[in-house]
Structure formats: structure tokens, C-alpha cells
């Protein structure tokens, strides 16, 4: 890990602020647009999760998992389409983006009307 990246990591740990490392602006925008899309369709995913309510605990938690899994799958597929594999840093940055948007995702599910 070079010195600049190491300093950014230390700043994140110290300040607990997400800093984008390596994901391109295009990919970051793609991830953000996926979050926007899936939050706008939260009612569908909440309904899907409710159909398994006899097997799961909280349908809202299950819907959250479905949405995050769908976004992650599209993120990985975007690399596969370019015949690449995401680096550990790419995945960590993806995780930071999702953590930042998680409250919005969760709120969209809770507020979703069937």
C-alpha cells in the first residue's frame, strides 16, 4: 500500500469519514443510481419478503438484504462485463457507499406501502 493511500485509510479510521479510493466516478454514479432505483421500488421487495414471512423474521430486514444483494450483484457484474475483478479496495469503497446510504434504504422499506 503506498503512502498516500495509507494516509487516506488512517484518516478514515481517525475521522470515521468515508473517502473514495479507487472506484471510477462512472461506477460510483452507477452504484448511487442503483440505490435510488431500489429504494424507489422498496414496496415490491418488501412484498416479496413478506411472501416468505413464515420462514424469516422481519420482512423489512429481509427486504434490506434483497436490495443490498441486488446492488452488490450489479456492482460485481459491472466488473465482469469489463472482464475485470474488483479489488479489495473496490469492495471496501462499495461497502462505504452502501453504509452511507443504508439509512435511506431502510427508511424506504419501512415507509413502503404494499
- Mean pLDDT over 66-82 rounds to 95
Q: Which helix (H) or strand (E) holds 68?
A: helix 59-81
Pick left, alpha or beta for residue 101 (phi over 0 → left; psi -120 to 50 → alpha; otherwise beta): alpha
Higher pLDDT, 32 or 114: 32
Query: Tens digit of pLDDT for each residue in 9-63?
Result: 555 555 555 554 688 889 999 999 999 999 999 999 999 998 887 788 888 999 9
- Mean pLDDT over 66-78 rounds to 96
Domain hosting residue 101, numbered range: 3-111
Burial class (CB in 10 A: 0-12, 13-18, 19+), 1: exposed
Total structural domains in the chain? 1
- Mean pLDDT over 74-82 rounds to 95
Amino acid at each position: 500500500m503506498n503512502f498516500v493511500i495509507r494516509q487516506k485509510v488512517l484518516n478514515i479510521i481517525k475521522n470515521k469519514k468515508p473517502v473514495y479510493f479507487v472506484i471510477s466516478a462512472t461506477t460510483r454514479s452507477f452504484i448511487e443510481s442503483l440505490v435510488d432505483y431500489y429504494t424507489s421500488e422498496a414496496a415490491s421487495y418488501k412484498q416479496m419478503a413478506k411472501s416468505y414471512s413464515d420462514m424469516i423474521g422481519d420482512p423489512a430486514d429481509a427486504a434490506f438484504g434483497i436490495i443490498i444483494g441486488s446492488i452488490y450483484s450489479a456492482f460485481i457484474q459491472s466488473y465482469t462485463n469489463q472482464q475485470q475483478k474488483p479489488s479489495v479496495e473496490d469492495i471496501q469503497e462499495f461497502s462505504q457507499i452502501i453504509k452511507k446510504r443504508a439509512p435511506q434504504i431502510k427508511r424506504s422499506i419501512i415507509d413502503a406501502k404494499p
